A and B are shown apart, each in its own frame.
Chain A
Amino acid sequence: MSKPKLAIFDFACCEGCQLQIVNMEEEILNLISIVNPVQWREAMSEESDEYDIVLIEGSITRPEDEERLRRIREKAKVLVALGACAAGGGVNRLKNTLNLQEAKETVYGTAANMPHLNTSSTKAVDEVVAVDYKVYGCPIDRREFAYIVRCLALGKTPEIPGYPVCVECKLKENVCRYEYREICLGPLTRAGCGARCPSLNTWCFGCRGSIEEPNIDSAKEVVSKYGKTLKDLENRIALFGSK
C-alpha cells in the first residue's frame, strides 16, 4: 500500500498550527514515514495537485478564499480542519462582533476604502465546504495531531474528547480557578489539551472551542455568584466564539 499523499493549505491565521507539525521535532520523521507530504507552502517548495489527505489551516474571510477552498475540496479525499481557526473560526471570529467598515477604518485609517482590503465575515472551514475531521486547539496539540494522523492512516475515526476541560483538570488535581474568583471557561470548553491553562494557574479561555450543549445558563449563575458580571463572562466567551 502506498503512503497517503498529504497537502497542507493555509488561510487567514497565524500559521501556528502548521508550526506545531514542525514542532513534532524527531517525530516528523515518523510522520513522513506514514504519509507523503506533497504540498506544504510554509515548509516545502515542492508542489502537487494530487493529494489524499488535506489539512486546512485558518479561517475563511474572503470570497476568493472560499473559491480556493472549494477547489481544494474537490481534489481532496479527506479534508481535515486544522486548529481553532479552521475548526471554528478561532480568534478571528471576534471580527464578526464588529462593524466591518469601522474595523477597516480603525486599522487602515484613510486607506480603508481601497478595494483589496475587502473581506467578509469570518467563517470556519465547515461553513464553506464539508469537513471530515477537526483538530481542535489554538494551536493544535501535536500529540493529538499525531494520534489523529495515525488514525487516518489506519482508517479509524479518532476518538476526540467531547467532555469539558474540567475533566482533565480534575485528573491533574488542580485547584479550581473559581476558588480564585477567576472566570474559567473549562466547564464549557472541549478537553484534549490536558487542562493546560488551569494547570498553569490560570483560567481556560476556550481555545479548543465549545463542547456540545454547553450550559451557558449555569455559567451565568456561577459568575454572578463569584462576584463577576455577565459581561465579564460574555467577553471571555467571545474570545474563541464559543456558543
Chain B
Amino acid sequence: MNKKVEVHHVTRIEGHGNIVVNTKDGKIEQVEWQVPEAPRFFEAMVKGRSWQDIQSIVTRICGICSISHSLACIKGIEAAMGITVSEQTEKLRLLAHYSEQFQSHVLHVGYLVAPDLLGAKSVVPLAESHYDVVKLVIKLHRIANAWSDLLAGRTTHPVTFKPGGFSRIPSETELRELRETLAGIVPDLKALAGVVLSLADKLPQFERDTEYIALVQPGTYSFYQGDIGSTDLPSTTPVDRFESVVNEYLPEVSTAKWARWHRDSYAVGALARFNLNSAYLSPLAQEIVQSFGLKAKCTNPYFNSIAQLVECAQLVETSLALLEELLRTGLKQEKLEARPQAGEGVGCVEAPRGILFHRYAFDQQGNCLSANLVIPTNQNHGNIQKDFEALVPQILDRSEEEIRLLLEMLVRAYDPCVSCSTH
C-alpha cells in the first residue's frame, strides 16, 4: 500500500515549512522536512550600516523573538566595541528578555499547541468550546505583552534598547505595578499547568536520543549569560567560538541553513535548557516538573511544550526576585554615552526557541563590516528531519491523516521560527 503525506505550509507555526512523506508498498521512499521560506539576506543588509541602526534592522528578523534578537545584537555590538553597561541595565534587559520568553511560550502552548490537545483546528472554535481556557491564555499573553511594552517600548521590535543602555527606563511605580501583576498570576500559571496536565496523555510517546545544546552558567537556569553547554560534552565552549559548534550547512530542501555538531543533528530550545539546567529551576517550576514526571534528560521532543510550561513558572518566579532587587536598590537615570570603536564581538542569548548567536565586526566609525547570525531554528531543522526519519517507520501502520497530524504536532513541538531561520 502507498501512503502520501504532503503538507504544504504547516499551519500554526511561524514561517513556511513543508512535510513530505511518500511510501511505496510499505517502504519509505521519501521523508522530508522542507523549508521553502523566502530568504531575506539580513547578514548582507546590515553590512555598511551604522552601529546605531543595526538593532533596528536585525530585530526585524523575527516578530516573535525580536527582543532576543535585539539583545543578542546589542550584546554583540557592545562586545565588539568594548562597551560596558551598568548592573541596572543588565537587570532591566534580563527582565525584558524574560517577558518575551514568557509571551512566546504562552503563545505557543496556549494558541498553537493547545488546539491539538483539545482536538481542534485552531483556537477560534475553542473560544466557544473552552472559553475559560482561552480567557486564561489571553490573560497571560496580555500580561506578558504589557510587560514587554514596559521595558522594550514596544511588544514587538524593541525601541528602547541601545548600545550602552536604554533610551528610556520604566519608573519605579511601573515596576512596582509589574511586580503586583506578576505575583497575581501565579495561580493562573498553576491553573494552566493543571489544564495541560489533564491533557498530557494526548502527547505522543516517542523517544529519540539526540544532542541538546543550551547556554549554561553554573548556579542559574540561564537565558542570558554563560557558555555553550552540550549533553554530549562535559566541558563548555565560550560563546565567541560558536561557529565551531553550529557547523552550518545548506541542504537542497531548505533555504535556511541547518546545523550539526557531535552527531547528525542537535536540538535547542526549552527542552534542551531543561536537560542541561534543570537543577536550577525555581520552586513552582519544579512542582510542575514533578507533576508531569519530567526528568532530565528527556528525549521525547513533544515534551518541549511541557518544558516551555515549566519555564513559564521559572520566568515569573525569577522575574519577581529580579524586580525585588531592582526596587530595593532603586532606579537611576543613566546617560547613554557609548561611542563607536573598531572591533569584532559575539552576542548570545537563549531565545524562546533556543540558543541564538550574533557576531558582528565594525570599523572605526561604527559601520558594520560583517555579520553572522545563527538562529535557534537553524539548529533544530536537522533534528526535526532526524526525528521524522525515526518516527515515520514507527507509525507507518497509521492512516495518512494520523501520520500527518503526528508529524505536524512534532514540528509544532519545536515551536519553529522558520522565517527567522531564513533571515
Contact = CB atoms under 8 A, between A and B. Distances in A.
Taking residues whose C-beta sits less than 8 angstroms from the other chain, chain A's interface range is 35 or more
Interface stretch (B9-17, B73-81, B214-222): B9-17
Interface stretch (A19-27, A70-78, A158-166, A213-221): A19-27
A44 B121 contact: yes
B356 interface: no
Interface string A26-38: 1011001000010
Taking residues whose C-beta sits less than 8 angstroms from the other chain, chain B's interface range is 35 or more
B300 interface: no
A90 B53 CA distance: 15
Given A25-B145, A106-B43, A114-B252, A14 B12 contact: no
A13 B418 CA distance: 11
Interface in A158-196: 196
B257 to A, nearest CB: 8
A44 B114 CA distance: 12
A104 B37 CA distance: 15
Interface in B126-161: 127, 138, 141-142, 145, 153-157, 159-160
Contacts of B16: 10
Given A43-B12, A43-B112, A202-B167, A104 B157 contact: no
A139 B66 CA distance: 11
B57 A94 contact: yes
Given A11-B38, A239-B56, A138 B157 contact: yes
A235 B250 contact: no
A205 B37 CA distance: 27
A94 B368 CA distance: 14
B167 A106 contact: no
A95 B111 CA distance: 33
B419 A13 contact: yes
B115 interface: yes
Interface in B167-206: 167-168
Contacts of A243: none
A40 B44 CA distance: 31
B38 A119 contact: yes
Contacts of A10: 16, 419
Contacts of B60: 14, 16, 90-91, 138
Interface in B91-111: 107, 111
Contacts of A98: 41, 44-45, 47
B420 A22 contact: no
A224 interface: no
A46 B420 contact: no
B142 A25 contact: yes
B154 A12 contact: no
Interface string A100-134: 00111011100100101101000000000000000
B18 to A, nearest CB: 12
B27 to A, nearest CB: 27
A205 to B, nearest CB: 5
Contact of A14 (B61, B112, B141): B61
B123 to A, nearest CB: 7
B162 interface: yes
Contacts of B61: 14
Nearest to B46: A94
Contacts of A15: 14-15, 62-64, 419
B39 interface: yes
B4 interface: no
Nearest to A16: B63
B255 interface: yes
A152 interface: no
Contacts of A29: 127, 138
B124 interface: yes
Contact of A62 (B38, B45, B141): B38
B412 to A, nearest CB: 10
Contact of B41 (A19, A103, A207, A239): A103
A37 B42 CA distance: 32
Contacts of A47: 11
A47 B121 CA distance: 10
A202 to B, nearest CB: 4
B40 A12 contact: yes
Contact of A32 (B12, B14, B124, B142): B124
B142 A45 contact: no
A200 B159 contact: yes
Contacts of B38: 11-12, 58, 61-62, 65, 119
Contact of B11 (A26, A45, A92, A236): A45
B121 A235 contact: no
Contacts of B385: none
A42 B47 contact: no
User: In this complex, which of B44, B50, B111, B157 has the most chain A Cβ atoms within 10 angstroms of its Cβ?
Assistant: B44
Given A15-B14, A107-B44, A239-B53, A197 B159 contact: yes
Contacts of B157: 16, 138-139, 207
Interface in B1-41: 9, 11-16, 36-41
Nearest to A202: B167
25 contacts: A12-B40, A14-B420, A15-B63, A16-B66, A19-B64, A41-B9, A42-B12, A44-B11, A58-B38, A91-B56, A95-B41, A95-B44, A103-B45, A106-B44, A107-B43, A108-B250, A116-B36, A117-B39, A119-B41, A196-B159, A200-B153, A200-B160, A200-B167, A201-B167, A207-B157
Minimum-distance CB pairs A-B, first 8: A16-B63, A44-B122, A103-B44, A12-B38, A25-B142, A202-B167, A111-B250, A45-B121
Interface of B: 9, 11-16, 36-45, 47, 49-50, 53, 56-57, 60-64, 66, 107, 111-112, 115, 121-124, 127, 138, 141-142, 145, 153-157, 159-160, 162, 167-168, 249-250, 252, 255, 257, 370, 419-420
Given A58-B38, A108-B250, A200-B159, 20 more contacts: A10-B419, A12-B37, A13-B419, A14-B60, A14-B66, A14-B419, A14-B420, A15-B64, A16-B64, A19-B63, A20-B155, A23-B156, A41-B9, A44-B11, A44-B122, A46-B124, A62-B38, A65-B38, A102-B44, A107-B42
